[in-house]
Structure 1
Amino acid sequence: MIRRIWHGYATHENADRYQGVVTGEVIPGILAMKVPGFQSIELLRRAREEDVEFITIMRFRDLDAVKGFVGEDYERSHVPTRAQKVLAHYDTRAQHYDTLLVEEVR
């Protein structure tokens, strides 16, 4: 399993707007793609003194599934134009990690 991690940063004034674009447009758009091997997406938010940091963590079956999402250049970020317009800056490349262990408490 692969985790795809990406960071974006918004001003405090634009943070709620960016969150709304992601939850109302970007994530539904990703889900509508029905990419084989795509398993989940998480959105994290952290207020910092200078800005608000957002992290997305996507879970894919393997790198072929990631390529099915963004193409052969699988590290390329997926940041639709409306999201770009409300971000101060963002990663142009996503990081990918092999998932070695997941322990869940039940």
Structure 2
Amino acid sequence: MTVKRVWHGWTTPENADTYEKLLREEVSVGIEAMQISGLRRFEMMRRPLADEVEFVTIMEFDDIDAIKAFVGDDYEKCYVPPAARAVLKRFDELSAHYELLEARTY
């Protein structure tokens, strides 16, 4: 089984580049340093909106147990380090989890 962990955060246009740099250079690097067994992929996305910028992360895990190794038994709770919280305007308090049914590559 593969599980996708999806999370959204929003920041101001003025803080968007700062948050992107933090996400690339600290948050993702910190997660990689945890060497979580069962973590397979970490995707980061960004899109501008009218008055804010939305970021989405999708993490791919082997199963729920691998997610619990990352954040604990309350595996839906978000993982947002203090430095990230400082520049985000708002964010999902809970991450959504989806079982991957099929993936096609063209």
TM range (shorter): over 0.9
Query: Partner of 1:52 in structure 2?
Result: 53
CA distance in 1, matches of 2:18, 2:40: 26
Q: How large is the Cα RMSD of the aligned pairs?
A: 0.4
Gaps of 5+ in 2: none
Deviation at 1:50, TM superposition (A): 1.7
Give distance in 1, aligned partners of 2:43 and 2:15: 20
Aligned to 1:98: 99
Question: Match of 1:4?
Answer: 5
**Aligned-partner residue type, residue 82 of structure 2:** T
Deviation at 1:52, TM superposition (A): 0.2
The AA in structure 2 aligned to 1:3 is: K
Unaligned runs of 5+ in 1: none
Cα distance in 2 for partners of 1:3, 1:69 equals: 13
Structure 2 partner of 1:63: 64
TM-score scaled by length of structure 1:
0.98
Distance in 1 between residues matched to 2:50 and 2:101, nearest whole Å: 33
Amino acid at match of 1:68: A
Over 6 Å off, 4+ runs: none
Letter in 2 for 1:11: T
Q: Percent identity?
A: 44
| Displacement of 1:44 | 0.4
